[in-house]
Structure 1
Amino acid sequence: MNRVVRFHQFGGPEVLSLEEVPVPVPGPGEVLIRTRALGLNRAESMYRTGRHAAQPRFPSGIGLEAAGEVEAVGIGVTGPVAGDKVSVVPSFPLNEYGVHGEHVLAPRHAVVTHPANLSYEQTASVWMMFITAYGGLIDLARLGKRDTILISAASSSVGLAAIQIARIVGARPLVLTRTSAKRQQLLDAGADEVIATSEEDTVARVRELTDGIGAQVIFDPVGGPPLADLITAAAHQATIVLYGRLHSEPTPLDAGEVLFKQLSIHGYDMADITTDDTRRSQAVDFIREGLADGTLTPAIDRTFPLDEIVDAYTYLESGSQVGKIIVTVPR
């Protein structure tokens, strides 16, 4: 038998359970993977609580990231063969594939060769965080040398990835976090300056740090009322990339400020990159190069065994982590 993570109703982490189901058989274009490590993401929490664009069909699987070994491939699959070490790029709807389990299916286009210099735990952590940051900063905002970028939710895995990518292109990352508790960790991760939003005036601090110019790029997964300050802190003709809506309240918008500062506000979904073969390939190549030369480093906060999947998601949703949360799968 085969244990997979499923849920039968919307709710908190407690609705998740490990259930025994038959090992699936790969259909045309599919790959069967025996997993060794799983990566957790906020998108899965939103999916489990009914706040994601994709809606589950109960009982529902869950999970976007995994690393392991190929066990079998379906008709028409070229490239990976049984025994290959691979990882899964999140590039499919959550209600079509869920890769949190011992044996899981993934579409061929989402399966990439395991980077030789990384562990399974590291590989299960890289694709969501780095492709999300790459797509928003490089593909969309065209972040460049000497640009100042303002990164919200900086202690998240995507926030940490954004810091590293900003450093690669020579930009200056100013990062936002709620309190100063994580300040030193964020500085150690490469942030140029850390702004504690509950303790400091965000707009005044950004102006001080940019000589009154503001930030050329803003990378935000929160939205809600805090976005108003980010718009005020933006430079003339800045690009604002909104890639999430973690805040539950409506987002106010000063149309005059957007108009007269000539701001560009983009709603961004990583699927813009991962569902386009060319752009996905470019992102994977960029990340592989960074992983190989050490300019990109997976940031793992904590690992949990598969049996503690509920505890792992509870910890994710506490917001206390700095980096990725990984679940290990026993052999």
Structure 2
Amino acid sequence: MSRAVVFDEVGGPDVLRLVDEPAGTPGPGEVRVRLEAFAVNRLDELTRSGASPMPVKLPHARLGCEGTGVIDALGEGVEGYEVGDAVVLTAVPDMTANGTYADHTVLPATRIIERPERLSPVGAAALWVAYSTAYGALVEKAGMRPGDRVLITAASGTVGLAALQIANQIGATPIAVTRHAAKRDGLLAAGAAAVVATDTEDIVEATRSHTGGAGADIILDSVMGPGLAELAKAAKRFSGTLVTVGWLDPRPAPYPSVPITTHRYMSFEHALDTAAVRRIAAFLFAGLRSGALSPTVDRVFPMEDIVDAHRYLEQGQQGLGKIVVTTGQAG
């Protein structure tokens, strides 16, 4: 038997419970992964609480769209992998049916990549969603180049921290945005060339000050909401690009009226494209080897404490980095 975190109704963290169930058998083209660690993402909270537009298959729904572990069973026709290989999951076809909050998950072999040797299970669990989202939005979508000034909102979040490192790896100049001036030193240490704290500064004025009056070449926004139109004014007129990747503020977001290019980026746009996944993995692994990229982990919980992990996320106690949960299945 295998353990899995499930919920039978939407609601607060207390709806989550740990149950025993069969580990599952991989079909043709599939692998079964014995999970060692998984990350807790905002999407998980939205799904559990009923706030996500994604349909939830109740009862006995699961959570988890990323994780890492070791292959312990191969389906017919799988090539390029062997039992015992350490892997990172790049996409989960239906997380409410077979998500990663578990000891095991079964998924297509096309939805995993080899885990870099230098990454521990905890570090690997914090890698894919944040870094592939930041890379996809900045490089694939916005075409970030060396020398670009990149304004990054919610910079202390997981995508924001990944974006700081990726911008530096490319040779761009990352400018971090945070609501709290108390996070300034931490963001500078994390790689920001400058920090705009909106509790004490006007975001448009501060951005123009940090860019010699020109404005940001690229804005990466994870917030949306009513402030989006004002944020867009911080971009370079006519040639600036705004890419939105999240919706931390669920209120309506007015469309920017300034003359810039806008994109909406969703991570599954590239997560299901095998060629794009190869490009993303090659870039991230090069950054890991050079030391330019290093996943940031805020806190680690055992799977038995999954309710506490969700409470921690929901209460906004999170510092810099990812919340990771370990299954105790390493080795």
After TM superposition, give the deviation of residue 91 of structure 1 in Å: 5.3
With structure 1 as the length reference, what TM-score do the two structures score? 0.95
Q: 1:140 to 1:116 in 2, by over 3 A?
A: same
> In 2, Cα distance between the equivalents of 1:273 and 1:53?
20
> In 2, Cα distance between the equivalents of 1:171 and 1:227?
23
Partner of residue 209, structure 1: 210
Q: Is residue 2:304 matched to residue 1:310?
A: no
> In 2, Cα distance between the equivalents of 1:14 and 1:109?
34
Runs of 4+ residues over 6 Å off in structure 1 = none
Q: Is residue 2:268 matched to residue 1:271?
A: yes
> In 2, Cα distance between the equivalents of 1:151 and 1:330?
35
2:91 touches 2:112 (CA, 8 Å); kept in 1? Answer: no
2:37 touches 2:68 (CA, 8 Å); kept in 1? Answer: yes
Q: Secondary structure at the match of 2:43?
A: helix
| Deviation readout 1:16-46 (Å, 9 max, x if unpaired) | 1111111211122221111111111112112
Q: Secondary structure at the match of 1:174?
A: strand
Q: Secondary structure at the match of 1:252?
A: coil
Partner of residue 132, structure 1: 133
1:155 touches 1:186 (CA, 8 Å); kept in 2? Answer: yes
Runs of 5+ consecutive residues of structure 1 not aligned to the other structure: none
Partner of residue 324, structure 2: 326
After TM superposition, give the deviation of residue 92 of structure 1 in Å: 3.0
Q: 1:98 to 1:91 in 2, by over 3 A?
A: closer
What amino acid is aligned across from residue 171 of structure 1 in structure 2?
A: A
| Deviation readout 1:155-212 (Å, 9 max, x if unpaired) | 1111110000100111111111111121111110000111111221111111111122
> In 1, Cα distance between the equivalents of 2:53 and 2:93?
13
* Corresponding pairs, count: 326
Q: 1:234 to 1:101 in 2, by over 3 A?
A: same
1:106-255 equivalence runs, <5 A: 106-236=107-237, 237-255=239-257
Q: Is residue 2:22 matched to residue 1:25?
A: no
Q: 1:32 to 1:307 in 2, by over 3 A?
A: same
> In 2, Cα distance between the equivalents of 1:113 and 1:253?
40
RMSD (Å) for aligned C-alpha atoms: 1.4
1:90 touches 1:127 (CA, 8 Å); kept in 2? Answer: no
> In 1, Cα distance between the equivalents of 2:24 and 2:92?
20
After TM superposition, give the deviation of residue 54 of structure 1 in Å: 2.3
> In 2, Cα distance between the equivalents of 1:288 and 1:76?
27
What amino acid is aligned across from residue 268 of structure 1 in structure 2?
A: Y
What amino acid is aligned across from residue 274 of structure 1 in structure 2?
A: A
| Deviation readout 1:258-287 (Å, 9 max, x if unpaired) | xxx2x1111110111111111111111111
Q: Secondary structure at the match of 1:233?
A: coil
Q: How high is the sequence identity, in percent, across the aligned residues?
A: 39
1:99 touches 1:106 (CA, 8 Å); kept in 2? Answer: no
1:91 touches 1:274 (CA, 8 Å); kept in 2? Answer: no
